[in-house]
């Protein structure tokens, strides 16, 4: 395993505290590097995860651009012939017992020159086009342009898969077929849809949970929810990972506002990438516009002024207000009156933008709020990093700066945790977590919140 020989300096002078943060964040990413990818955590997550690689590459762009591109490249080398990019690419040198559900459970056949069991059959949020564009911006030059050229057709194939095979509603939006696909796994946003799935605890006897050996039970999903996760995954696997007739055949088919916001942001990023690689940006702009329109038409609840997930099996919007409802802010073309409503939600007591604590993953005032259990309350850095970008893009530079201060203070105080207690700020889940370290590097490198459409404007020096 090659180690970085020296710590790359930040692009501008940092305070002593931030200098040390820069060094330790670099060390976390270096320790989690494995030949051609970065693991999210050396203890809890010993393989390559899809949307983790996207966030990680943005941090790596500052300290080791070759690794940033390698990480994205190795993920897309595992792309299936149908265009899906697996949610986990397994390191077949890691023992089956080190992560559940591992290669044996998913039982994926050999394909694309890969051996059997090389990945799961699920996907995760398509944050990669955005990441590729951001890596290119942070490490411009011929080598990066060449990487973009190589990745572009693969990124397009992923979008085609999501909008095609997963475009269950035919509206340009993609459906997820498992809470794990959302990346916001245990969010209350899935509670209504999951209530219709039987929790068969026998499955937990047949398949032993590994997460509880490495993390506290009250930080992780309940056994009932875990049994449902296994049932949904097994159903999809037993159907050969087919996406035909999902609403009739499958147990869980949901349109998530966060997932689809990243789908739209990917088209915006692809339009920019297309201009660099000599492709036509117009189809990407058209798709982006369709996605934003459909997110608003289908997932926005004007009465509460929030976005919710939509269960395609019942046709019902979730009643829960979760952080995924704020994600449409990352869309530069979200109508202004709706932006104002979502910002009001972010400012409200439910989420409460303030300098002391970043935005929690779920409504603080709801019965479902749980300060410890992941995605049901704790603070996540990737969600806040995206929201800060969105806020800055829509002209809320003050809010973006506030979130950035809160995130950096939290990590300074508690360390590079996977997530954080939304009241005490204590670190929870895995320590030395890669995307937390990566996005800290990115925030330290940023001299001020970006103003304007993400990706099109220069950084501004406002702090």
Question: Exposed, middle or buried: residue 207 (CB in 10 Å: 0-12, 13-18, 19+)?
Answer: middle
**What is the C-alpha to C-alpha distance for residues 232 and 301, in angstroms, rounded to an integer?**
28
Which single residue brings its beta carbon nearest to ligand 9WN? 40
Question: Exposed, middle or buried: residue 14 (CB in 10 Å: 0-12, 13-18, 19+)?
Answer: middle
Q: Which is nearer to ligand 9WN, 216 or 247 (CB)?
A: 216
**What is the C-alpha to C-alpha distance for residues 142 and 150, in angstroms, rounded to an integer?**
12
Alpha-carbon dihedral of residues 313, 315, 319, 323, nearest 10 degrees? 70
Site residues for ligand 9WN per CB under 6 A: 40, 45, 49, 51-52, 87, 180, 183, 185, 211
Tokens found for residue 81: 């012939």
Q: Which of 174, 135, 353, 337 is nearest to 257 (CA)?
A: 174
Candidate list 255, 418, 442, 446, residue with the active-site label: 418
Question: Exposed, middle or buried: residue 449 (CB in 10 Å: 0-12, 13-18, 19+)?
Answer: buried
Candidate list 19, 27, 107, 185, residue with the active-site label: 185
What minimum distance in Å lies between the beta carbon of 50 and ligand 9WN? 7
Task: Give rounded-to-5 percent helix, strand, coil for the chain.
Answer: 50, 10, 45
What minimum distance in Å lies between the beta carbon of 40 and ligand 9WN? 3
What minimum distance in Å lies between the beta carbon of 336 and ligand 9WN? 31
What minimum distance in Å lies between the beta carbon of 182 and ligand 9WN? 8
What minimum distance in Å lies between the beta carbon of 282 and ligand 9WN? 33
Do 203 and 75 form a contact (C-beta atoms < 8 A)? Answer: no
Q: Which is nearer to ligand 9WN, 102 or 264 (CB)?
A: 102
Q: Is 211 annotated as catalytic?
A: no
Q: Which is nearer to ligand 9WN, 152 or 229 (CB)?
A: 229
Q: Which is nearer to ligand 9WN, 45 or 80 (CB)?
A: 45
Q: Which is nearer to ligand 9WN, 87 or 166 (CB)?
A: 87
Question: Which H or E element spans position 88?
Answer: strand 88-89
Q: Which is nearer to ligand 9WN, 183 or 427 (CB)?
A: 183
Q: Which of 78, 310, 62 is nearest to 173 (CA)?
A: 310
Q: Which of 125, 132, 122 is nearest to 178 (CA)?
A: 122
What minimum distance in Å lies between the beta carbon of 34 and ligand 9WN? 14
Question: Exposed, middle or buried: residue 220 (CB in 10 Å: 0-12, 13-18, 19+)?
Answer: buried
User: Strand 316-317 vs strand 310-311: parallel, antiparallel, or unpaired?
Assistant: antiparallel
What minimum distance in Å lies between the beta carbon of 385 and ligand 9WN? 13
Question: Exposed, middle or buried: residue 297 (CB in 10 Å: 0-12, 13-18, 19+)?
Answer: exposed
Beta bridge partners of 36: none
Radius of gyration of the chain (CA): 20
Q: Is 367 annotated as catalytic?
A: no
Q: Which is nearer to ligand 9WN, 185 or 200 (CB)?
A: 185
Sign of CA dihedral 126, 129, 133, 138: positive
Q: Which is nearer to ligand 9WN, 183 or 377 (CB)?
A: 183
What minimum distance in Å lies between the beta carbon of 85 and ligand 9WN? 13
- Active-site residue numbers? 185, 418
């Amino acid at each position: 395993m090659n180690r970085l020989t020296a710590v790359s300096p930040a692009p501008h002078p940092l305070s002593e505290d931030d200098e040390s943060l820069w060094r330790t964040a670099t060390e976390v990413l270096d320790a989690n590097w494995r030949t051609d990818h970065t693991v999210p955590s050396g203890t809890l997550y010993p393989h390559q995860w899809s949307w983790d690689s996207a966030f990680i590459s943005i941090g790596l762009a500052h300290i080791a651009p070759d690794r940033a591109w390698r990480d994205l490249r190795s993920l897309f080398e595992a792309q299936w012939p149908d265009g899906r990019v697996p949610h986990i690419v397994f390191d077949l040198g890691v023992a089956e017992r080190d992560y559940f559900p591992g290669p044996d459970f998913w039982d994926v056949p050999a394909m694309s020159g890969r051996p059997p069991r090389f990945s799961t059959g699920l996907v995760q949020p398509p944050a990669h086009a955005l990441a590729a564009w951001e890596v290119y911006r942070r490490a411009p030059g011929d080598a990066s342009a060449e990487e973009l050229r190589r990745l572009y057709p693969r990124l397009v194939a992923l979008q085609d898969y999501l909008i095609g095979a997963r475009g269950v509603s035919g509206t340009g939006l993609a459906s997820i077929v498992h809470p794990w696909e959302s990346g916001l796994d245990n969010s209350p946003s899935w509670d209504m849809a999951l209530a219709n799935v039987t929790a068969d605890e026998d499955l937990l006897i047949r398949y032993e949970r590994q997460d509880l050996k490495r993390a506290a039970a009250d930080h992780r999903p309940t056994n009932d929810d875990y049994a449902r996760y296994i049932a949904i995954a097994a159903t999809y696997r037993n159907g050969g990972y087919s996406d035909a007739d999902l609403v009739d055949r499958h147990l869980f088919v949901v349109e998530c506002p966060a997932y689809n916001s990243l789908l739209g942001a990917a088209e915006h990023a692809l339009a920019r990438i297309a201009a660099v690689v000599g492709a036509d940006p117009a189809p990407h702009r058209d798709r982006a516009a369709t996605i934003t329109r459909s997110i608003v038409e289908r997932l926005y609840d004007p009465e509460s002024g929030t976005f919710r997930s939509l269960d395609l099996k019942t046709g019902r919007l979730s009643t829960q207000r979760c952080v995924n409802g704020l994600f449409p802010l990352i869309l530069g073309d979200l109508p202004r009156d709706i932006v104002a409503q979502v910002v009001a939600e972010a400012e409200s007591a439910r989420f409460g933008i303030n300098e002391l604590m970043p935005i929690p993953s779920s409504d603080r005032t709801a019965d479902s709020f749980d300060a410890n259990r992941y995605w049901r309350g704790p603070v996540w850095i990737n969600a806040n990093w995206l929201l800060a970008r969105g806020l800055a893009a829509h002209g809320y530079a003050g809010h973006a700066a506030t979130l950035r201060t809160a995130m950096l203070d939290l990590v300074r105080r508690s360390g590079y945790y996977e997530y954080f207690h939304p009241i005490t700020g204590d670190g929870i889940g895995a320590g030395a977590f890669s995307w937390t370290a990566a996005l800290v590097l990115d925030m330290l490198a940023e001299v001020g919140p970006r103003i304007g459409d993400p990706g099109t404007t220069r950084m501004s020096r406002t702090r």
